Structure 1
Amino acid sequence: MKKLLSLAFAATLTFSSCSSDDDAGDMGTNVDLNLTAQRSDNYINTAALPQAILNYVSTNYPNNTIKEAEIEDNNNYEVELNNGTELIFDQQGNFLGIDDDGDDDFGDENIAPGDLPVNIRNFITTYFPGATIEEAERENNGNFEIELSNDAELIFDADGNFLGRADDDDNDDKDDDDIEVSELPQVIRDYIATNYPNNTIIEAEREDDNTFEVTLNNGVELKFDSDGTFLEAEDHNGDDDDDDDDN
């Protein structure tokens, strides 16, 4: 009798363990949160955009600057302005339209957090309990890309399985602080007005070390120290000027 009870108890433990493992698999208990996954679209420097795009933005949106730019895996460019407008261009820089309706007209679709697959929502609630979903997209490859309020970017496949955190090869300046042109020190604006009188500012950033980076509509990037002193210039072809040769 004792032997039968022992076997029954062992079987109960085994069943309980298997059931726990199955639940763990559903919730991704064994998931490595340090995994990285390639985004279907990658951030690129504004200065690296085709000149046709820079011209279009400066001509049609003269009072706006570029907040960020991405190249999609279908080779379209997505350019977000500081007023939230998202402009779509083809590989040659031809304007395709404004992506403002949430549909997948240009290869990706904005998704309301409540419309995400339940396993994605459960995953985020479990592993990022203090974060909220700021942006969710279904990309043209079927993957879901989720940006959280803590700046984490998570990639899930079409079935909602976690693939990893977003990994970008061209993401050097994504975390810099985009600022309005009016927020640039006056000495920087004066420098640009004097040395680049025929160009306009198309992007302005304050970097992590409090230096400034300004992109002009001709694709030239200007760098200034925290006091607004000019440091160097680099164009999108890779030509450099330092402070010994201002322009």
Structure 2
Amino acid sequence: MNKLISRTFLALLATITLFSCSNDNDLGTPEGENIEASALPQASRTTLNTYFNDATVTSAKRASSANIYGSIYTALLSNSFEIDFDENGLWTEIESEKNLAIPTKFLEDQLPEVQAYLEANYASNHVVEIERERFGFTIELNSGVDLVFDRDQRFVGVDLDDDDDDEIRIPLEELPENARNFLSASFEGATAITVKKDTDDNEVSYEVYLDNGIKVEFDATGNWIEIESKHDVAIPAAALPTGIVQYILQNYPAYFLSEVEKNSNGGFSIEIENRINGNDIELIFDANGNFVRRDD
């Protein structure tokens, strides 16, 4: 399991304000009327002239209503970029149809913290798509990896699923009700940046990235099946049987909870990590929270 960080796993968390403004191309900008490039908002034309001045606008459209990104205007460029804007001309989505790199100057000016993270961690890759979510940004690299950042451009998580044909972004409201209730009851002050629905092999699952660095995966009926933490935040003890919490406290007081996964038999795989030396241990519990074994 991935290495994950949490300050304490005993924090009981209560409420969450969760919204998502994310989807995929099948929920993209509605078909609209063709317009002249000169009819795009001034802010849109400034963006195009500043960062994409090596291309021309081959077509432009204005939709009658916004999609969940807030996109109203679409500009198709001669270099096969598609750029969407909201009603005020602020860019909402940028996509390279030919896997070309989004200009570095654009990233340096518009998303400087994101660009700094990419230079430090993905220097051999380039950005081919950007989506402005309501509470953050999703960046797609030419490798197919999606990186999620919060509204302050802090890294939240990585999605290594390169089979995007089975995966779409959805509004939070389309997540099963019990999944939304779980999030509301378990993560105080967190916000959903990205919500995804995956239909891989005809099996539905959901992934929710929160702006505090936690990713929660749910099954088709909205039951959580895995919780991962990328940052120094708590995975809620409320999600676990009491016996698991007590066992870890008694036997591994120097360790903290780093990942929780429900097994197919109803049991739990728990990863804990030593606060001092970083050593990790995997513990297996049954569905009732009884200790089964330690996997090293």
The TM-score, its normalising length taken from structure 1, stands at: 0.38
Larger Rg: 1
The TM-score, its normalising length taken from structure 2, stands at: 0.33
Larger relative contact order, structure 1 or 2 (CA cutoff 8 Å, min sep 6): 2
Structure showing the higher strand proportion among its residues: 2
Structure showing the higher helix proportion among its residues: 1
